[in-house]
Amino acid sequence: MLRLLLLLAGGCVLFFVVKQLYTYLPEPVLRRLVRFWDKFFLSLTWLFAAVTVLALGFIIFHILSSGIPHLSPRLFAVNVTLGDVSMFPAIVSTVLMVVIVLAISVPLGMFTAVFLVEYMRTGSWFVTLIRSAAEILAGIPSIVYGLFGMMFFRVFLGLGFSILSGSLTMSIMMLPLIIRTTEEALKSVPDTYREGSFALGAGKLRTVFRIILPNAMPGIFAGVILAIGRVVGESAALIFTAGTILQIPSSLFDSARTLTVHMWRLSSYGQYVNETYATAVVLLLVVLSLNAVSGIIAKRFTKT
């Protein structure tokens, strides 16, 4: 391991030493060398771009081609026992979780952005403080959120393994995303709209809710859909908060696994490889289509 790293470092040093020697080379050799490096870097660029597209394309293709043949009615059975492979309960709890997370994080994040953009001067210390707080929140790994959710919501507030613990944890995780997208959407509403509204005698509040938010809605909506995709795809933060029990939750205080956690559990059993592939197909299609829709909305919005 260490030898490998040393080799790598040695290679880099050698490269720079050789580069320094260039100036002492005779003209024709230098010319040929430059042409060689040109070709080398150009082909490397093409190669690596192809590698990116092929690698990412292969992952999608592999999951879809191996999973679609195994999509059977058994995987969507409504009545399940513990340790079953049906993803129906997981889908129900995923939808439930998405709804709760949005109900908490969208108003919070939206109001935060409204306060930062409409009520505060840009560049004031409060804005900087909250923006850096959101940046730090965005960088915290999901497993740390899971630890925090476990200690705070599950144990300290006594919510136990429940949809609610999981949703509250995820809501904090989604805050930075909602704040940032809403902020950008609010900023893209032209100032003339605000001035027009004030000139007609509307107050700040009415201007925000009647003029600014409706005009910023597509941008906010794109962010919300992106957040749905993230909630659906999350797993590490939910294992210790929402738990891993496969059941249709009868209340918010029931433990339940989302689709992603369900897929993780299936993959760890070993004998359900085909079922895991099929679950992965469903998961992939849901997340990718959500992201695509979000991208299309954002694009259409920025164009007009």
Partner 1 sequence: MRYGRMRKHGLEFSMKIVFAVCACMSIVAISLIAIFLLAGGLPAIHEIGIVEFFLGQRWAPGDRYPAVPDFGVLPMIVGSIYITLGALVIGVPIGLFTAIYLAYMCPRRIYVFIKPVINLLAGIPSVVYGFFGMVVLVPIIRPFAREITGGGTGESILAASILLGIMILPVVIGISESAIRAVPESYLEGALALGASKTRSVFCVIVPAAKSGILAAVVLGVGRAVGETMAVNMVAGNQARMPTHLLRGARSLTANIVMEMPYAYGLHRDALTASGVVLLLFILIINMLFVFFVRKGR
Q: 96 vs 208, which CB is nearer to partner 1?
A: 208
* Under rule CB under 8 A, residue 202 binds partner 1: no
* Total chain residues near partner 1 (CB under 8 A): 88
Q: Measured between alpha carbons, how far apart are the two ends of the chain, in Å?
A: 54
* Under rule CB under 8 A, residue 129 binds partner 1: yes
SS (H, E, C) 61-124: HHHHHHHHHHCCHHHHCCCCCCCCCCCHHHHHHHHHHHHHHHHHHHHHHHHHHHHHHHHCCCCC
Nearest distance from C-beta of residue 194 to partner 1, angstroms: 15
Residue 213 CA to residue 203 CA, distance in Å, equals: 14
Nearest distance from C-beta of residue 85 to partner 1, angstroms: 15
For residue 53, CA distances in Å to 1, 93, 159, 279, 290 come to: 29, 34, 44, 24, 21
Check: CB of residue 29 under 8 Å from CB of residue 240: no
* Under rule CB under 8 A, residue 214 binds partner 1: no
Q: Exactly one of 80, 233, 252, 272 binds partner 1 (CB under 8 A); which one?
A: 233
Q: Give exposure, 189-203, as e/b (b: 16+ Cβ within 10 Å).
A: beeeebeebeeeebe
Any residues with CB less than 8 A from the CB of 225 and at least 6 apart, and which? 290, 291, 293, 294, 297
* Under rule CB under 8 A, residue 19 binds partner 1: no
* Under rule CB under 8 A, residue 76 binds partner 1: no
* Under rule CB under 8 A, residue 8 binds partner 1: yes
* Under rule CB under 8 A, residue 33 binds partner 1: no
Site string for partner 1, 244-263 (x = CB under 8 A): ----------------x--x
Which 80-119 positions form the footprint of partner 1 (CB under 8 A)?
107-108, 111-112, 114-116, 119
Q: Exactly one of 100, 101, 287, 297 binds partner 1 (CB under 8 A); which one?
A: 287
* Under rule CB under 8 A, residue 223 binds partner 1: no
Residue 269 CA to residue 248 CA, distance in Å, equals: 21
Q: Strand, coil or helix: what is 141?
A: coil
Interface region with partner 1, contact rule CB under 8 A, candidates 79-87, 94-102, 147-155, 248-256:
147-155
Q: Exactly one of 164, 172, 216, 242 binds partner 1 (CB under 8 A); which one?
A: 172
DSSP H or E stretch at residue 223: helix 213-233
* Under rule CB under 8 A, residue 264 binds partner 1: yes
Q: 86 vs 105, which CB is nearer to partner 1?
A: 105
Interface region with partner 1, contact rule CB under 8 A, candidates 71-79, 94-102, 185-193, 228-236:
228-236
Q: Exactly one of 100, 150, 227, 246 binds partner 1 (CB under 8 A); which one?
A: 150
